[in-house]
Structures are given as structure tokens and as C-alpha cells.
Amino acid sequence: MNTNVADKTETPSIAIAMEDRKATSANRAKASAEKLDFWYGTNQALKNINLVIPENQVSALIGPSGCGKSTFLRCFNRMHDLQPDTRYSGSIVLHPEQVNLVSKDVDPIEVRMRIGMVFQKPNPFPKSVFENVAYGLRLRGVGNRTELAERVEKALRAAAIWDEVKDRLADSALALSGGQMQRLCIARALATEPEILLFDEPTSALDPIATAKIEELISELRNSVTILIVTHNMQQAARVSDFTAFMYLGELVEVDATSKIFTNPSKKATEDYITGRYG
């Protein structure tokens, strides 16, 4: 895959020959990681990552424990900045503006207002369902009650949970089931219309039925937002994503259309992981 970011006036395009119905023949890039390194203290956790995240597609990050996939994910919304002694080098360029998300000159708060995240363990606020979704909007200065109500409903519908909570908007979010809480967290993130939505192992704490609902949701959401998902469950990556990137020990080993990665990977390391030779 070739990307060209030197030319600042055009959005780069990627031409990929795809047989799979899930991917289109030309995808614009929403973000590109270029020569990205990341350190915790003196320990280098990410080494020279170069990866394009196509717009309005689901890209999955897979790999064994400790390969750096969650670390890489959290670079996109600068969550690492909350810990002391962390350092980025290289860039993650957001298109079409060409702004480098990990640059020191870019404010992490601003990044987090444009990039949303759904966490592994559902973490709704101990507030009402309505207030959970409204919080991000209030941060952005939306105070008008009608507008809030409209946007909250829109987000809850987009997260496929509106019908279940429309009569319980004032009830505590903690009274929901695990799967419902996670969809509420998705609604909370969607309410602020993020440009990229990050999922950090979103179903690992949920039962299979809740998992299936969320996988279906993720598939639908790609039409409105670019999605990057980390999962340790390979079958989930195969079900849900258009592109899959395999990481190992902090490096990006291989990235390609999901169908190709899981049927005919180019690198042996990828093949070994997929066939279960190591976990």
C-alpha cells in the first residue's frame, strides 16, 4: 500500500484490488501512522509503526498479549499522556487536515474531543442514562435542553439501545446489564460525533449474546465513523473488520484486507499466530 503525505493539498488514496464485498476499491485514508515509536520510560513499546487507517472502514489490531496493540490504540487519543514519563516519536496524521495527533504542539484534550474511545470493561458514570450520554455534549457547551435531548436520542439510536432505555432515561446507568452498559458507553462516545472511534477489546468482559449484538453494531457503525478495534479474539476480527493488522513485540508485522490475512497471510509469523501455534 502506498501513501503519499508530502503533498498537502490532496487526500491520498489507496488503490487495492479487492475481491471481498466488505472493502471498496478505493478507500480514502482517515489517519496514517508514520514511523511511530513509543516509549514507557526507557522501554520502547512501539517500533516504527507505519499503518494507514481507511475512512469508514473497520480496522482490527490483533496479536498475542504484550504485542503493543492496546498501546498503539491509545496513542490515537493520547491516553498515554495521563501517565508520567511517556514519549512519542514519529506521527499519526489525521486526514484531511494533516494534523499530527501525537505532536507536542497538539493539545491532548483537543485530540480526545475528536477521537472517541470505548473501553474493555464498560465504565458508565454513576449517573442516569441520559446524563451519561449528555456529558460529552455538555463539555462541548451544548446547554439547550431540546438540543441535548435530540442528540442524546440520536446517539442512543445509533448504538441500538434506544428502544431498551427510552422509558428509563432518568434511571441509573448502573442498573443496566453488562451488554447494555457497553452499548450505552458506545452511545456516549457517538454523541460527540467523533472522527475515529477506538474500541479496546470491547466485548472481552461480555457474554456471547451481548458480544454478538455489539459486533453487529460495529459493523453498521462503519458507515458513519472510522473504526479501529483491538481484539484478542481472532474470530471476532474475522467477523467484524475490513482490514486487519497483525502486531508482534511492538512491531507491525503485516496488514492487509481481513479476508486475505486469514486465508493467505504473507508472513510466516502471521500464519503461525492465526493457526494457533502460539497464543
Partner 1 sequence: MGKGAFSSISYRKNRDRAIELVLLACALVAVFTTLAIVFILISESAAFFEHVSIRDFLTDTQWTPLFDDAHFGILPLVSGTLTVTFVALLVAIPLGTIIAIYLSEFATHRVRESVKPVLELLGAVPTVVYGYFALLMVTPFLQQFMPNLPGFNMLSAGLVIGLMIVPYVASVSEDAMRAVPRYMREGSYAMGATKLQTALRVVVPGAFSGIAAAYILGISRAIGETMVVAIAAGMQPTLTFNPTEPAATITAYIVQVSLGDLPHDSIGYQSIFAAGLVLMIMTLVFNLIGFFLTRRFREAY
Partner 2 sequence: MAAVMTIEELRRGLSWRKNLDKLFVVVGLLILMSCLGVLALLFLDLVRDGAERFGWDFFTQFPSRKAERAGILSAWVGTSMIMLVTAIVALPVGVAAAIYLEEYAPKNWVTGIIEINVTNLAGVPSIVYGLLALGLFVYKFDLGQSVLAAGLTLALLILPIIIVGTREALRAVPKAIREAAYGLGATRWEVTKDHVLPYSTGGILTGLILGLSRAIGETAPIITIGALSFIAFLPDSPISSEFPFLNFEWLRSEFTAMPIQIFNWVSRPDQAFQQNAAAAAAILLGMTLAMNAIAIWIRYRFRKKINW
* Residues within the interface to partner 1 (CB under 8 A): 107, 109-110, 113, 137, 140-142, 192-193
Residue closer to partner 1 by CB (options 138, 166) is: 138
Residue closer to partner 2 by CB (options 90, 116) is: 116
Please measure the distance between the N-terminal and C-terminal CA atoms of the chain and give it in whole angstroms.
Answer: 28
Beta pairing, strands 243-248 & 251-257: antiparallel
**Residue 269 corresponds to which amino acid?**
A
What is the dihedral angle through the alpha carbons of 217, 178, 228, 103, rounded to the nearest 10 degrees? 140
Return the residue of 20, 97, 110, 147 that touches partner 2, per CB under 8 A.
110
**Residue 257: helix, strand or coil by DSSP?**
strand
Residue closer to partner 2 by CB (options 1, 174) is: 174
Give the whole-angstrom CA distance, residue 238 versus residue 216.
Answer: 13
Crossing angle of helices 145-158/129-139, nearest 10°?
110
Residue in 52, 75, 76 with CA at minimum distance from that of residue 4: 52
- 213's contact among partner 1, partner 2, none, with CB below 5 to 8 A by partner kind, is none
CB of 123 to partner 2, least distance (A): 4
CB of 144 to partner 1, least distance (A): 12
Q: Does 80 bind partner 2 (CB under 8 A)?
A: no
Give the whole-angstrom CA distance, residue 241 versus residue 227.
Answer: 9
- 142's contact among partner 2, partner 1, none, with CB below 5 to 8 A by partner kind, is partner 1
* CA 173 to centroid of chain Cα atoms: 23
**Residue 29 corresponds to which amino acid?**
A
Return the residue of 189, 228, 229, 230 that touches partner 2, per CB under 8 A.
189
Q: Does 124 bind partner 2 (CB under 8 A)?
A: yes
Residue closer to partner 2 by CB (options 230, 234) is: 230
How many residues bind partner 2 (CB under 8 A)? The answer is: 25
Residue closer to partner 2 by CB (options 129, 274) is: 129
Locus of grid cell 477521537: 115
Q: Does 117 bind partner 2 (CB under 8 A)?
A: yes
Q: Does 112 bind partner 2 (CB under 8 A)?
A: yes
**Residue 220: helix, strand or coil by DSSP?**
helix
Residue closer to partner 2 by CB (options 11, 172) is: 172
Give the whole-angstrom CA distance, residue 225 versus residue 216.
Answer: 15
Contacting positions for partner 2 (CB under 8 A) = 77, 79, 82, 84, 109-110, 112-114, 116-117, 119, 121, 123-126, 135-136, 139-140, 185, 188-189, 192
